[in-house]
Chains A and B, each alone.
Chain A
């Protein structure tokens, strides 16, 4: 087995292991902190694929932003450690159906994709290319995404704002 393969499986094990911890841990704080391993593992896989910019942004946004917000929400919730069982309201059967459909879709898309193995891996800089593509071929989706984000921002401000009573 090649060394690169060993490293890949190591990263994958960290990612899947901490994701399992997120899902199965009884303590919601541990779940939240385990997300760190998942996000870092995904960033590691991006590095492995030679996507340096995406890896950097993955750590910056997910670890620096989203994980911290999740931790905030968890820690500010009253008596959070007393909550032992997560979300019993829906029940197991509907969950099983949803998971089954998701699994089918995933397996199907893995089987449909024509996988090719690159002969030689090039670790070339990608940042400039990503920028060019965003502002040329994919300008419309890029602008649409920023509009959605702006709408989300305005919505958040509107919800959290206190109306002054006269």
Chain B
């Protein structure tokens, strides 16, 4: 991105304009492009897909009226929410109430600065990439607390408090799992971490050693909790808190919170893909730069979106945990386990400074064995449950 702007300046496209202003303009343009051509459709389509997938898992149909298969449902929802009245409760703190959705949204959108879409396609490959990502997401907590307080509603406040407690707690296992990968890759830059891996699964950091394999599951669980997703969605538990910190919100402000939540799913998948699953690495099949960029983008997107699907799947499968279970899971199990992963990887790097190829292939085989066992169980369950399976996906 910076190289492109530098090149444009060198070619004399902006005579007489200070360099900084060109950079600022390029940044605003990049933010606009990423927001309107990638993040907004992505979050929208994800919201539709989640409702469809979830409905299918519960033997329902789901939204299928607007557009083919209902894929334009998110546009209809967006227009409806834009036209709705924006209600601010009389007893609410007007300033903080209006500000909170933006703080949450900024914290979410700022992560897209360092998310790589391909080897050349990244807004800014910061040297502290993953640290920056962890840092800006902490803005979301402040926004949620702000929303909870400003609504002047006991359910909102309880939801905000629960959410903040949960995010602050789960930041520790997530951060330690990320640190494990920083150890193994030796860099914090997102592109650097991807370049430390290869296209083949046994070159991924997921299979680097048994400890990074464990760190992946710790990271994904902690990330689901940080994103307030079921089974960790106690901040908006409908049966207890109405809608938690969004209870008093309506119209577009309400949509901003959920925009961030659905977009955040993709961010979780993208981080998991970058850190553990080889990012945009593709086999050397083509030298054409445009073709290669498209291939990398597709590979990265498919890997990242698979984990979005898994998050929907988990949401459709597991019941909500209680508050005390949530905290004991984090502090009694996940934090010690993530320390084991961190120290284990450090010890591994002392033992095998160049990595151990045999162990990587072995871990890959273990992963394949787990997947096969899972598939076998699913097949067994389906055959013995004799459900009225409805195989037609188009309804």
Contact = CB atoms under 8 A, between A and B. Distances in A.
Interface of A: 3-4, 7, 29, 33, 36, 52-53, 56-57, 59-60, 63-65, 67-68, 71-72, 75-76, 125, 127
Given A68-B141, A68-B145, A127-B127, A75 B161 contact: yes
B135 A59 contact: yes
B15 to A, nearest CB: 17
Given A3-B20, A63-B135, A127-B188, A53 B128 contact: yes
Contacts of B157: 75
11 contacts: A3-B18, A29-B149, A52-B128, A53-B128, A56-B131, A56-B132, A56-B135, A64-B141, A64-B168, A68-B164, A71-B145
A53 B134 CA distance: 12
B171 A4 contact: no
Given A63-B138, A63-B139, A64-B134, 13 more contacts: A7-B20, A53-B131, A59-B135, A59-B138, A64-B138, A67-B142, A68-B145, A68-B168, A71-B149, A71-B164, A72-B161, A72-B164, A76-B161
User: Of residues B21, B128, B137, which shows the largest number of chain A Cβ atoms within 10 Å of its Cβ?
Assistant: B128
B146 interface: yes
A53 B189 CA distance: 12
A60 B126 CA distance: 16
Interface string B121-155: 00000111001101111110110011001000000
Interface in B6-42: 18, 20-21
A43 to B, nearest CB: 8
Contacts of B137: 64
Contacts of B146: 33
B144 to A, nearest CB: 10
Contacts of A68: 138, 141-142, 145, 164, 168
Contacts of B126: 52
Contacts of B165: 72
B17 to A, nearest CB: 11
Nearest to A67: B142
B109 interface: no
B-side binding surface: helix, strand, loop or mixed?
A: helix
Contacts of B103: 36
A4 B138 contact: no
A16 B134 CA distance: 26
Contacts of B139: 63
B138 A60 contact: yes
Interface in B78-106: 93, 96, 103
Nearest to B186: A128
Contacts of A52: 126-128
Contact of A57 (B96, B131, B149): B131
Contacts of A36: 103, 142
Nearest to A125: B127
A135 to B, nearest CB: 13
B18 A64 contact: no
Nearest to B165: A72
A60 B142 contact: no
A56 B126 CA distance: 11
Nearest to B136: A59
A60 B96 contact: no
B18 A75 contact: no
Q: Which of B21, B135, B141 has the most CB of A within 10 A?
A: B135
A105 B306 CA distance: 58
Nearest to A74: B149
B145 A64 contact: no
A78 to B, nearest CB: 13
B20 A4 contact: yes
A3 B21 contact: yes
Nearest to B126: A52
Given A64-B171, A68-B142, A75 B149 contact: yes
Contacts of A4: 20
B318 to A, nearest CB: 27
A130 B141 CA distance: 29
